[in-house]
Amino acid sequence: MLRHWLLLLLLGVGAANRQRRYGKDRPDPEEVTNYSSIKVKHYGTFLDDCTMAKNDGLYTTFFKGQKKNSTVRCVASFFGGGWTVIQRRRENTVDFRRNWVEYQNGFGDLKSEFWYGLEKIFRITMSEPTEIFFLMQNTEGTRAYAMYDRFAIFGLTKNYTIRSLGEYRGEAGNGMLYHLNMPFSTYDRKNNGRGQDDCSKLFWGGWWYNNCYTSNLNGKYPAKKEMHTKCYRCIAWTYFQQYRPITFVQIMMRPIRVRT
Ligand SMILES: *[C@@H]1O[C@H](CO)[C@@H](O)[C@H](O)[C@H]1NC(C)=O
Ligand SMILES: *[C@@H]1O[C@H](CO)[C@@H](O)[C@H](O)[C@H]1NC(C)=O
Ligand SMILES: *[C@@H]1O[C@H](CO)[C@@H](O)[C@H](O)[C@H]1NC(C)=O
């Protein structure tokens, strides 16, 4: 907590407004909305994207260039709103040890835990400059965030390589930098460098593994006995928790125009 306030002080006048807004909105959006009671909202016409969502919830949307509608989880109550949730972990209801095609298309339950899908993430980052926000919490309930103001990935032909991150801000540490320029890997598609460890097999999730990680947010959800020890294959962000597990994660993206 002390570290957090020092950080806020150091961020300077330019960022003061934005930081104050983040501070005020710190509660987890999940605490605001009971997702198990939500029905997907149909807004007559579709929502183009989460920047149009007035409330937290599930919405129907069209992706640019796609014929079928899809459901999206939007967060309006958090840090100025406009967020599309692309990943979420909070209990152990969804297995994240999945193959390439599943990571490509997405899996899980938008009301609880899920991975939104690389193809959709790619389409979002491709359509306009996008920022990304990683919110996480350890077993003691301490929260930390990391954000990057120009997140973009390439498409399938480049195996969804992280193309840019932009500037890092936050308190969890710069855990994505090591993964910049790395393609995505799953247990059935090792893309993290010839001669290197098969990181996805070793560390469970699909991720932009290097050799191997400083973040592993799609790793294994810790079992009870793994909660208070090092767990290399579990959900991790090493600058925050080293290899001790994280038990809540929410990753969100939004166009940078929302905050300017
Ligand atoms: C959330 O909604 C579900 C379904 O309507 C209900 O069963 C449950 O009790 C609600 N939980 C809370 C914390 O209000
Ligand atoms: C979205 O697509 C599904 C499946 O194709 C369809 O059943 C549903 O009615 C569509 N939603 C709207 C709002 O049209
Ligand atoms: C993408 O991944 C596949 C399977 O791992 C690999 O054969 C291919 O060379 C990769 N493509 C690029 C551009 O790295």
Q: Give the model confidence (pLDDT) of 165-174 as tens digits.
A: 999 998 899 9
Which ligand approaches the C-alpha of residue 31 most closely? 1
Q: Which residues touch 28 (CB under 8 Å, ≥6 apart)?
A: 135, 143, 248, 250
Q: For a substitution probing ligand 3, which of 182, 190, 191 has the most ligand atoms within 8 Å of its CB? A: 191
Within 10 A of 183 (CB to CB), how many other CB atoms are there? 19
Taking alpha carbons only, the member of 179, 174, 180 closest to residue 200 is: 179
The one-letter code for the residue type at 166 is G
Nearest to 134 by CA among 124, 122, 143, 145: 145
Cβ neighbours of residue 43 closer than 8 Å, sequence gap 6 or more: 59, 60
At 39, is the pLDDT very low, low, confident or very high (cuts 50, 70, 90)?
A: low
- C-beta atoms surrounding 258 within 10 Å: 14
Contacts of 129 (CB under 8 A, 6+ apart): 150, 152, 255, 256, 257
CA of 183 to the centre of ligand 2 (A): 33
pLDDT band at 28 (very low <50, low <70, confident <90, very high): low
Angle (nearest 5°) at CA 149 between 130 and 112? 65
Cα–ligand 1 centroid distance for 115 (angstroms): 23
Query: Which CATH code fits 2-259?
Result: 3.90.215.10
Collapsing DSSP to helix, strand or coil, 128 comes out as: coil
Q: Are 207 and 220 in contact (CB under 8 A)?
A: no
Any atom of ligand 3 within 6 Å of the Cβ of 192: no
**Residue for token digits 């991975």?**
115
**Identity at 58, one-letter amino acid code:** L
Average pLDDT rounded to a whole number, residues 221-230: 92
Q: How far apart are CA 188 and CA 77, in angstroms?
A: 38
Distance 106 CA to ligand 2 centre (A): 18
Ligand located closest to 100 CA: 3
Q: What is the mean pLDDT of the chain?
A: 83
Question: Whose atoms come closest to the Cα of 200: which ligand?
Answer: 3
Sequence spans of domains, the chain? 2-259
Q: How far is the CA of 113 from the centre of ligand 2 (A)?
A: 22
Enumerate residues 6+ apart whose C-beta is below 8 A from 229: 244
Burial (CB count within 10 angstroms: exposed 0-12, middle 13-18, buried 19+), residue 45: exposed
Q: Which residues line ligand 1 (CB under 6 A)?
A: 34, 36-37
Nearest CA to ligand 2 atom 7: 69
Cβ-based neighbours of 234, under 8 Å, separated by 6 or more: 204, 216, 219, 220, 221, 222, 226, 243, 245, 246
Say if ligand 3 is within 6 A of residue 111 CB: no
Beta strand segments in 20-62, E: 57-62
| Protein residue with least CA distance to atom 6, ligand 2 | 69
Answer for the pair 180, 152: CB distance below 8 angstroms, yes or no. Answer: no
Per-residue pLDDT tens over the stretch 92-124: 999 999 999 999 999 999 989 999 999 999 989
* Model pLDDT, residue 143: 86
pLDDT band at 127 (very low <50, low <70, confident <90, very high): confident
pLDDT digits (tens, 9 = 90+) for 142-157: 888 899 999 999 999 9
In the prediction, which pLDDT does 79 show? Answer: 80
Query: Which residues have C-beta atoms less than 6 Å from ligand 2?
Result: 42, 60, 68-69
For residue 38, which ligand has an atom nearest its CA? Answer: 1
Residue burial 78-105, b: 16+ Cβ < 10 Å; e: rest = bbebbbbbbbbbbeeebebbbebebbbe
Q: Residue for token digits 């038990």?
A: 247
Q: What pTM did the predictor assign?
A: 0.83
Confidence tier at 30 by pLDDT (50, 70, 90): low
pLDDT of the residue at 80: 82
Q: Which atom of ligand 1 is nearest to the CA of 34?
A: 1
How many angstroms is it from 93 CA to the middle of ligand 2?
A: 26
